[in-house]
Chain A
Amino acid sequence: MNMSAESWQRAEIPGPKKALVFAKPQVVATKVKIAKRPILIVGHEAVNTSLNEEKVIDYIINIAKAAEIPVVATSHIFGEFVKRGFQPATWMSIMDITNRLQDPDWKGLDGVGQYDLALFVGIPYYMEWTILSSLKHFSSDLTTISLGRFYQPNATCSFSNLSLKYWIECLKVIISELGEK
């Protein structure tokens, strides 16, 4: 079920520039396909959130595999990826990766150059809110996408506030769209 595109946090005013809402999850896949250097940043809530048996991290792994995006595991969830047979590009705290994404001279994880698209998922809502605010104001040419369940006004694009079931459906659509290369 698609709900409103309002900040999930009360008394937080994002300013005049607010995130565009994805009308359809297919748009996320298109954005990722168009991007030259995308990166996927995954926080610890991807391990804690689940619908039935499958956890969000399982869907995220499928997205990363389908799009061949480097994954940064924040917090302590690197081991969770490895347990599932997936090797993230690196582990780095969310503060460190945000700091680096703001630096136009950063050469990226592979030494090739700065990224042009950053996707965020599994970060605590209020942390992601401030991180995206920081990137909105201080990164040079970075597009940010929040793949989380709740509307993130400081991202470039975000989902609206979604029910858990519909959100998982959206992630499934993204995986299937990215698979069709």
Chain B
Amino acid sequence: MLATGNLNKLADLYEECVGCARCESACRAGNNIHSFIIKVAEKKLKKEKFKIRSGRGAVQDLEIRKVGAPIVLGEIPGVVAFVGCANYPHGGKEVAEMASEFAKRRYIVTASGCSAMSIAMHKNEEGKTPYEMYPGDFAAGGLSNVGSCVSNPHISGAAVKIASIFARRKLRANYEEIADYILNRVGAVGVAWGAMSQKATSIASGFWRLGIPVIVGPHGSKYRRMLLGRKDHKDDWYAYDARTGDQVYVGPTPEHLFYTAETKEEAMVMIAKLCIRPSDTTKGRAIKLTNYIDLHKRFYGAMPDDIHLFVRTAADVPIIMKDEITKILKKKKWTEGMIPDPTLLPRLIRKRKE
């Protein structure tokens, strides 16, 4: 193809190339392939000009006061943070697509570092970047950029602030309670789609230890460490009901804390699923299930096989899918459960049984 003068295929590689130049060391003919790619994509490269929202820094207490309740009650389906490096399997476009999809679905979307830049490098048919399409506040349907990679604590800090401001959890020497609160109530997920560095995995561990699940791209499997749950092990998913002290089944919510997705489509379905939390109200759970089922049907072409694990009461079932889901629940011999005030800490039980 190159011999015939058609350079388009080579130029297209520029979109996906991370510039590692391993192709050059592997080439038996000794060609400078990376240099060729850069040269044939020169025109495209010179025209590259994008609009990015400036790094905004910490999420303000005032913003948390506005969104704290709807996040904890589940009415805002979740907070999705796109963070980490740029070692994407198929270029940065995928991050922009994921961010746009979840902003459109009224999730709170926030980004940092390379991911924030990659989101800016994708334009829609009208020539607009996602930052021009969605507002920059930390609110449902917003897409904010907290800043560089080292600004990631602003995102975990927002989750901590929810526990502090909305639930009045003390901040000093109280990590356990705050992590318990976030794990059980704050539907937040981190996505490091191009994670490759030690820094990215340490950032991820900073999130998962707070109870925020992290999804990494396929290259993340090279970390050789996952924190995977087993939804088929019912005994793994019990928590205390802080009101009574009873141990109650809360379903696989969230199922994993560190997870590698093979494709963008799988990651998107998993993001929606990992935003589900034990304390969701019925309205919140229905909204989260609607997003999960809708994405699953779109990408997998079928209903999820685990809906019965996430429906606690009949009111959790999304109204628009009621007939379909009711049939599945019957088939799975589902029985109605309850909505607890969940905690994993026995000392937070308010009334102990005699």
Contact = CB atoms under 8 A, between A and B. Distances in A.
Given A124-B89, A126-B221, A79 B262 contact: no
A79 B302 contact: yes
Contacts of B265: 75-76
A91 B300 contact: yes
Given A76-B300, A99-B228, 14 more contacts: A10-B22, A74-B262, A76-B299, A79-B299, A91-B300, A93-B266, A94-B260, A95-B226, A95-B228, A95-B259, A124-B89, A127-B218, A127-B260, A133-B224
B230 interface: yes
Interface string A70-81: 000011101100
A30 interface: no
Contacts of A10: 22, 25-26
Contacts, number: 69
Nearest to A45: B262
Contacts of B25: 10
Interface string B239-257: 0000000000000000010
Contacts of A43: 262
7 contacts: A76-B269, A78-B302, A93-B259, A93-B261, A93-B266, A95-B228, A96-B228
A44 interface: yes
A181 to B, nearest CB: 31
B237 to A, nearest CB: 15
A95 to B, nearest CB: 6
Interface residues on B, range: 20 to 34
Contacts of A75: 261-263, 265-266
A79 B300 contact: yes
B30 interface: no
A155 B300 CA distance: 28
Contacts of A99: 226, 228, 230
Contacts of B260: 94-95, 127
